[in-house]
Amino acid sequence: MWRARHRDFPTPVAVKFIPSDLEKGEDGHERLLREGRILARIDSPRVVRLLAIHDEAPRPFLVLEELRGEVLATFAKTRGQVPVRVTSRLIRGVGAAVEEVHAAGVVHGDLKPTNVFLTRVLQGAQHGLTVKLLDFGVSRSVEERPLESDRYPAGTPDYMSPEQVLSPLDPRTSWDIWALAVLAYHLLTGAAPFDAHSLVSTFLRASSAACLPPSCLRPDLSPRVDAVFARAFRRDPERRFRTVLDLVRALVDALGHCHDAPVVASSGVRLRNAFTPTL
Q: What is the model's pTM?
A: 0.87
End-to-end CA distance of the chain: 26
* 34 and 149 Cβ atoms separated by less than 8 Å: no
CATH second-level architecture of 69-256?
A: Orthogonal Bundle (1.10)
Q: Of 59-63, 78-82, 205-209, 224-228, which gets the smallest average pLDDT?
A: 205-209
β-bridge mates for residue 13, sequence order? 4, 65
Model confidence at 4, in pLDDT bands (50, 70, 90)?
A: low
Q: How many Cβ atoms sit within 10 Å of the Cβ of residue 221?
A: 24
**What residues have CB less than 8 Å from 147, skipping those under 6 apart?**
27, 30, 31, 34
Across the chain, what does the average pLDDT equal?
A: 84
Model confidence at 25, in pLDDT bands (50, 70, 90)?
A: low
* 232 and 181 Cβ atoms separated by less than 8 Å: yes
Of residues 268 and 173, more confidently modeled: 173
pLDDT score recorded for residue 56: 78
pLDDT score recorded for residue 18: 79
> What are residue 197's phi and psi, to 5 degrees?
70, 5
What is the tens place of the pLDDT at every residue in 37-47? 999 999 999 99
pLDDT score recorded for residue 177: 98
Of residues 120 and 70, more confidently modeled: 70
Task: Decide if pLDDT at 162 tops 60.
Answer: yes
CATH of domain 2-65: 3.30.200.20
pLDDT score recorded for residue 270: 33
Of residues 276 and 265, more confidently modeled: 265
Q: DSSP character for 24?
A: T
β-bridge mates for residue 15, sequence order? 2, 63
Model confidence at 1, in pLDDT bands (50, 70, 90)?
A: low
pLDDT score recorded for residue 26: 61
Model confidence at 250, in pLDDT bands (50, 70, 90)?
A: very high
Residues of the chain with CATH 1.10.510.10: 69-256
Task: Decide if pLDDT at 141 tops 70.
Answer: yes
d(CA 260, CA 265): 14
Q: What does the pLDDT average to over 241-266?
A: 81
Report the b/e string of 8-37 with b at 16+ CB within 10 A: eeeeebbbbebeeebeeeeebbbbbbbbbe
Of residues 12 and 138, more confidently modeled: 138
Geometric angle at alpha carbon 31, from 25 and 36, rounded to 5°? 150
**What residues have CB less than 8 Å from 103, skipping those under 6 apart?**
none
Q: Of 23-37, 131-145, 216-230, which gets the smallest average pLDDT?
A: 23-37
> What are residue 165's phi and psi, to 5 degrees?
-75, -45
Helix (H, G, I), strand (E, B), or coil: what is residue 141?
strand
Geometric angle at alpha carbon 159, from 164 and 154, rounded to 5°? 45
Residues of the chain with CATH 3.30.200.20: 2-65
d(CA 223, CA 277): 26
- CA-to-CA dists, residue 75 to 66, 70, 81, 90, 192, angstroms: 19, 7, 11, 11, 16
Q: If we measure between CA atoms, which residue out of 27, 77, 24, 61 comes closest to residue 191?
A: 77
